[in-house]
Amino acid sequence: MRSSRFPIVAIGASAGGVEALTALFRGLPPRPHAAFVIITHLAPHRESLLADILVRHTDMPVAEAHNDQAIEEGHVYLIPPDAVMTVADEHLILNERGGERNPVDIFLTSFALAVGDRAVAVILSGSGTDGAIGVKAVREAEGFTLAQGGSGSQPGHHGMPDAAIATGFVDCILPIDALAERIAAYIDTFEKQPFGARGDGGKATEEIEEARTALCAILRERVGHDFSRYKPNTFLRRVERRMQVRRIADLRGYVAFVKDDPEEATFLFRDLLIGVTSFFRDPEAFDCLARLVIPEIFAGKGADDWVRVWIPGCATGEEVYSVAILLREHMRTMAPQPHVQVFATDVDENALAVARAGHYPAKLLERMSPDRLERYFVREGRSFTIAKEVREICLFSCHSIVRDPPFLNLDLISCRNLLIYFKTELQNQVLPLFHYALRPGGFLFLGISEHVSQNADLFAPLDKKHRIFRRRDQPGRPAVFPVVAQTLTGRRATQPQAKPVSGTEVVRRAETVMLDRFAPAYVIVDDDWNLVRYSARTGKYLEPPAGVPTRNLLAMARRGLQLALRSAMHEVVKTGSATRREGVRVECETGVQTIDLTIEPIPDKGGDHFWLIVFADVGAVRGRDEGVAADWPADQEQAFRQIEQELHQTRERLQISTEEYETAVEELKSANEELLSLNEELQSTNEELETSKEELQSVNEELHTVNVELSAKIDELDRANSDLKNLFASTRIATILLDRTLIIRSFTPAASGIFRLIQTDCGRPLADIATFLDYAGLPEDLKSVLSSMNSIERQLTSRNGEAHYLMRLLPYWNSDRRIDGVIVTFIDVTDMIHVGQQKALVAELNHRVKNVLAVVTSMAAQLARRSTSVDEFNEGFLSRIRGLAQTHDILARHEWSDVALDELFAAELSAFVGESGRAALVGPKVHLRPRATTTLGMVIHELATNAVKYGALSDDNGRVSVAWALRLDAEPPMLEITWREIGGPPVKTPERKGFGTELIERSLDFELGGTARIDYAREGLVVTLAIPAIHAVHTEGGTNEQIHEPQESARH
Amino acid sequence: MSRSTNPRRVLVIEDELMVAMGLEMLLTDSGCAVVGPHGRFDRAMEAARNEAVDAALIDVNLRGSKIYPIADVLAERGIPFAFLTGYEKETLPERFAHELLLSKPCGPQDLVAAVARMCERSLVRT
């Protein structure tokens, strides 16, 4: 059931990100059961090489995402340049980037909503604050968040991880190696979640319920908050999340852990309270604020008045802007608008940077009413920036409510979901501080799960449900110097208010009553004349001046008191001891009061100085004139009048000066205003520059990585090139590379043995180069290879016939699979051809020998049939073998070419030609073809053998005459030979035809297409042989007249 | 007309007279009627096309011409034949790889037996 629920890890990175990402993927298992989405700040219109870089560190496919792509397990998706990516229904949605500066926030906010508790957000190195809001969103959706940091290897740029960490919503802050390990472990345990099916019935439920009760009890005890009425499912989901963070697999183990670890309860508490941070979180509470509080803040305020609001712990600014919008909305209904100042503070500069930018992903503003969205925001691509109108009333500064003095005279403090992070002790310090900071009747706005119960004497609930309180005016309560008191007395703020009244307390209260009733009025001021404490009944001496509320004593002093105060104070500061001014006349509302003024320094401990100023009345209030008349004698009247006159003139001059001063102040204010807005603009320009810098940084990093790659590739190329060079130099396969126009691109040294090539011939057409080859068809063949794309193979011989080559013409394919020329190779096959010839020779020899053997075998078989005795067989067989051998000898002597006819006869009749004259050979000079030579040789052997055995040569008297002639007029032309025996024993026609006779008769016809006629004439045998003249060559007269083209080649 | 009462007719194509005569003698002795022998291509081809024979013995090389077209004719006519040659079997074209090849010089018994077998096949087919 869980197998399809794989975690999705979204990684945001920018400057320094390439390094971090490669390290991260190197640390992960090659195929984790999760999907990864990487969001970086890419420069638009530039192809990213990140995929190529990352693919070497993981087995998962890495690719740029495309629109509407389903997220699948085991894949890594990259944001394409010039796009912002969001998630909807497990699919990645791409949109035009359109100047969006925070793509990580954009992605993470939609990702958190779409994926929920399967979301894992990782923020790696990068400058700026992108990702902080996104991390918050992921945590709020119960996802798991991590950031690069911690000890060990630091991120290259801290901005992004630090801003994310500053939100307080990052679960794990780890160096990159540990980060990879942690993510892998999370993915691993994701499948084995402890509760299986949450809320299912059965035994498991009891165990879960038990654990829940135990945890609620611990929380109630440790943080004083009762969660037992929280929805169990929500509660357990948060617990489960904490278990994953703490890597505890079973619920009981976690309960034990919470018991033992004092911190974990706080973490769990915070996790449980995480809601959705957004504008107008708890809309009803904000409605209530707008209805009850804001009109009252503005009531009775004119153009010169100030409305001051403080939002401590403003984090990423949503609350600030929500309040500011409400203020603006109310201001729209007012004709003279008072000045409004919203102080937004946080201890973390990074969080403030996010808040100052006022730049939020659209997803966060989904529940904002369209009306407000349009009026108070400016759309920028997929995100919104707060409008100037709202932004300009907000002042963001780094400030700690624990450490730094508070803002004062506030109308409203909105401090939502900050106190939950404070322990009770600290809460009891902070609430009196708020009380002090608020002007009388000011308001306090807290988060839904916060309360003021232990400080109920300071704040009265206005709307209890929505946690809106009004400051109680508590003059009787000595909770005055909140922060100062802390430093002066140390223990005061920690005293619980609800403790029973002790004895000393009664005395103190009595003292207070006495001071109020019987002591003269006094005030306490600090170094800057600011009032820090009034006693009762100071109204006679002090009055709030017109204009901006102030605590300055001099500004508040009534007429007549100012001068005395100033000089006395001057003296006290100088001498360090108390001083006194008597008979100071103060103009109060009912008349003139004469007082004694005492200023005394209060002993200090921390370096802060305070002064006690006591106003002691002398006598009662008198009328203005009465007072003068009573106190001074009449004769001095004139002098007084004169002084009065001068005073009056002085006052007028002062009035003029004051007016001039105020004009100057006005001018300064407007100058300041201008400077503020200029600053705003500079700020946004600066942000844009940051973004550009960010992008440049990423580009630079990628380029650097690519550069390293390229260097490696160049090295490889160098090596390959040198390999090729060596191969070229050493190969004995002559190779010539030609381009498309058949110009020589390069060639191997061996090629110069075939073409007359020298090194400078590169760039010349091959056709121009002289060759040793007998190969005229080269240009046609080359063109044919180019046009047909087929290779050609030919066996070629050099002109002198000594060298043989196997030539191949192959198309040259370039990397685009297009023909870019021709490769010509020559393999020297001279040796192979010689070997081949030898083999053929041996085979032919074998064949011929076999043929000869067949002839001999056949002859033997036939003679054996015809012979009557072994002797007869022997004689006939051996004689014929000799005859065959003789003819072969003659042919061999003539290298198996033509043989002269008379030579053939002379060989058989050698004993009878020449001196003896018993054999005469008459005829023209005629040569016979080898085939005819063989046949006639056999016939002549039979005739001669027969003549010697039985015929004319068998005794000493007979002789033989051989005559031949060419009958060229016959059709076909014939060579005619006549064998005539003369003077031998009488001839008898044989009774049966002998083997020799059969041979003579058949062979001429069979072998040569000729005829043989045998005439057994009594006076001597006459044999006439006729063979077609094509078997002979007439060579009479020294010229070799070829009689006819021979049709057959010799064979045996 | 029953073949068994008549001698089997064997076509002999061989350009060497002495060998042809030997074959002639051998076949005649074993009761066959020899057609040929023919030593010239044109005559041999004519005989192969037209003569009614039971089997054929053919030399591969006929005065420089290869016998294969004649072998094709015989194969087409369904006449069993055997090559008689001094060449190796491998030199024959692929299509004759399964035909009978008698190596020169051939023993008389082998030859007679081969002819008898061919005639048997011929008989079965007819």
DSSP-derived secondary structure for A514-534: HHHHHSPEEEEEETTSBEEEE
Q: Is the peptide bond before A312 cis (omega within 30 degrees of 0)?
A: no
Q: Is the pLDDT of residue A571 over 60?
A: yes
Pick the CATH number of A8-190 from 3.90.740.10, 3.40.50.180, 1.10.300.10, 2.40.50.840: 3.40.50.180
Suggest the residue from A1001, A1006, A1030 to mutate for an interface test with chain B (most B CBs closer than 10 A): A1006
Q: Is the sign of the CA dihedral A329, A334, A335, A338 positive or negative?
A: negative
Widest CA span in chain A: 218
Q: Is the pLDDT of residue A489 over 70?
A: no
pLDDT value, residue A84? 86
Superfamily of A504-631 according to CATH: PAS domain (3.30.450.20)
CA distance A57 to A59: 7
Which residue type occupies A403?
Answer: R
Q: Is the pLDDT of residue A748 over 50?
A: yes
pLDDT value, residue A323? 92
Strands A804-813 and A792-797: antiparallel
Residue A957 backbone phi and psi in degrees, to 5: -100, -40
Q: Is the pLDDT of residue A517 over 50?
A: yes
Residues 854-893 of A with CB under 8 A from B: 854-859, 861-862, 865
Nearest Cα to Cα of residue A891 among A923, A920, A926, A930: A930
The full 3-state SS of A102-135, as one line of letters, equals CHHHHHHHHHHHHHHHHEEEEECCCCCCCCHHHH
The pLDDT tens digits of the residues spanning A4-48 come to: 678 899 999 887 788 888 888 988 888 888 999 999 887 767 677
Residues 820-859 of A with CB under 8 A from B: 843, 846-851, 853-859
Superfamily of A283-494 according to CATH: Vaccinia Virus protein VP39 (3.40.50.150)
Contacts B25 to A, Cβ<8 Å: 861-862, 865
Q: A280, A365 in Cβ contact below 8 A? A: no
| A850, A859, A931 member nearest B18 (Cβ) | A859
Q: Is the sign of the CA dihedral B102, B108, B110, B112 positive or negative?
A: positive
The alpha carbon of residue B87 is apart from the nearest alpha carbon of chain A, in Å, by 6
Residue A300 backbone phi and psi in degrees, to 5: 75, 10
A847:B87 CB<8 A: yes
A536 compared with A964, residue with greater pLDDT: A964
| B17, B19, B37 member nearest A1003 (Cβ) | B17
Identical fold at A731-828 and A867-1042? no
Lowest mean pLDDT among A264-268, A275-279, A972-976, A1013-1017: A275-279
Give the count of Cβ contacts less than 8 A between chain A and B. Answer: 68
Q: Is the pLDDT of residue A324 over 90?
A: yes
Kindly write down the DSSP assignment for every residue of A204-228, as one continuous string.
Answer: HHHHHHHHHHHHHHHHHHHH----T
The alpha carbon of residue A878 is apart from the nearest alpha carbon of chain B, in Å, by 15
Task: Establish if B23 touches chain A: CB-CB under 8 angstroms.
Answer: yes
How large is the ipTM? 0.85
CA distance A52 to A57: 10
Q: Is the pLDDT of residue A644 over 60?
A: yes
The pLDDT tens digits of the residues spanning B37-95 come to: 888 888 888 888 888 888 888 888 877 778 888 888 888 888 888 888 877 777 778 78
pLDDT value, residue B35? 86
A226 compared with A950, residue with greater pLDDT: A950
pLDDT value, residue A942? 86
A851:B26 CB<8 A: no
Q: Please give the structure tokens belonging to residue A623.
A: 């009328």
Task: Establish if A734 touches chain B: CB-CB under 8 angstroms.
Answer: no
Contacts A855 to B, Cβ<8 Å: 16, 18-19
A121 compared with A416, residue with greater pLDDT: A121
| Catalytic residue chosen out of the listed positions A48, A105, A127, A130 | A130
CA distance A979 to A964: 9
B40:A1009 CB<8 A: yes
Q: Is the pLDDT of residue A109 over 60?
A: yes
The owner of tokens 């619920």 is A251
The pLDDT tens digits of the residues spanning A64-76 come to: 888 889 999 889 9
Q: For the range A686-690, what are the long-range contacts, defined as Cβ-Cβ under 8 Å and sequence gap of 24 or more?
A: A687/A101, A687/A357, A688/A101, A690/A127, A690/A128
CA dihedral A905, A909, A914, A919 (to 10 degrees): -90
The pLDDT tens digits of the residues spanning A790-818 come to: 888 888 888 887 888 888 888 888 877 78
Q: Is the pLDDT of residue A475 over 70?
A: no
Q: Is the pLDDT of residue A1046 over 50?
A: no
| A847, A856, A862 member nearest B86 (Cβ) | A847
Nearest Cα to Cα of residue A158 among A198, A126, A195: A126
Q: Which domains does chain B have, with CATH numbers?
A: 3-88+96-125 (3.40.50.2300)
Give the mean pLDDT of A740-767.
Answer: 85
The full 3-state SS of A572-616, as one line of letters, equals HHHHCCCEEEEEEEEECCCCEEEEEEEEEEECCCCCCCEEEEEEE
Average pLDDT, chain B: 80
The owner of tokens 């693919």 is A55
Scanning A742-829, the segments in alpha helix (DSSP H) are 778-788
Contacts B34 to A, Cβ<8 Å: none
CATH code for the domain defined by A731-828? 3.30.450.20
pLDDT band at A200 (very low <50, low <70, confident <90, very high): very low
Q: Quick check: is A14 catalytic?
A: yes
How many residues in chain A? 1052
Nearest CA in chain B to A934: B16
pLDDT value, residue A1051? 41
pLDDT band at B33 (very low <50, low <70, confident <90, very high): confident
Q: How many CB atoms lie within 10 A of CB A962?
A: 23
Q: Is the pLDDT of residue A758 over 70?
A: yes
Where is A141: in which H helix or E strand? none
CA distance A1043 to A946: 32
A858:B23 CB<8 A: yes
A857:B40 CB<8 A: no
Give the mean pLDDT of A109-132.
Answer: 87
Task: Establish if B36 touches chain A: CB-CB under 8 angstroms.
Answer: no
Entry pTM: 0.42
Give the mean pLDDT of A819-824.
Answer: 87
A861:B22 CB<8 A: yes
Q: What are the residue ranges spanned by the domains of chain A?
A: 8-190, 203-273, 283-494, 504-631, 731-828, 867-1042
Task: Establish if B33 touches chain A: CB-CB under 8 angstroms.
Answer: no
Suggest the residue from B16, B18, B65 to mutate for an interface test with chain A (most A CBs closer than 10 A): B18
Average pLDDT, chain A: 80
Task: Establish if B89 touches chain A: CB-CB under 8 angstroms.
Answer: no
pLDDT band at B119 (very low <50, low <70, confident <90, very high): confident
pLDDT value, residue B126? 47
Task: Establish if A992 touches chain B: CB-CB under 8 angstroms.
Answer: no
| Class (C level, CATH) for A867-1042 | alpha beta
Task: Establish if B16 touches chain A: CB-CB under 8 angstroms.
Answer: yes
Q: Quick check: is A33 catalytic?
A: no
Q: A819, A740 in Cβ contact below 8 A? A: yes
Lowest mean pLDDT among A246-250, A496-500, A602-606: A496-500
According to DSSP, the residues that pair with A743 across neighbouring strands are A765
Residues 5-64 of A with CB under 8 A from B: none
Q: What Å distances lie between residue A117 and A108, A138, A994, B120, CA to CA?
A: 13, 8, 119, 91
Q: Is the pLDDT of residue A258 over 60?
A: yes
Kindly write down the DSSP assignment for every residue of B95-123, as one continuous string.
Answer: GGTTSEEEESS--HHHHHHHHHHHHHHHH
Contacts B108 to A, Cβ<8 Å: 861
B26:A1002 CB<8 A: no
Most confident region among A24-33, A149-158, A473-482 by mean pLDDT: A24-33
Q: Is A1038 left (phi over 0), alpha (psi -120 to 50) or beta?
A: left
Helix/strand/coil for A248: coil
pLDDT value, residue B50? 87
pLDDT band at A196 (very low <50, low <70, confident <90, very high): very low
pLDDT band at A444 (very low <50, low <70, confident <90, very high): very high
Percent over 70 (pLDDT), chain A: 89
Nearest CA in chain A to B38: A1006
Q: Quick check: is A287 catalytic?
A: no
B19:A1003 CB<8 A: no
Give the mean pLDDT of A744-769.
Answer: 84
pLDDT value, residue A276? 56
| Catalytic residue chosen out of the listed positions A41, A359, A399, A451 | A41
| B64, B88, B105 member nearest A853 (Cβ) | B105
Nearest CA in chain B to A931: B63
Give the mean pLDDT of A876-904.
Answer: 84
Give the mean pLDDT of A645-662.
Answer: 87
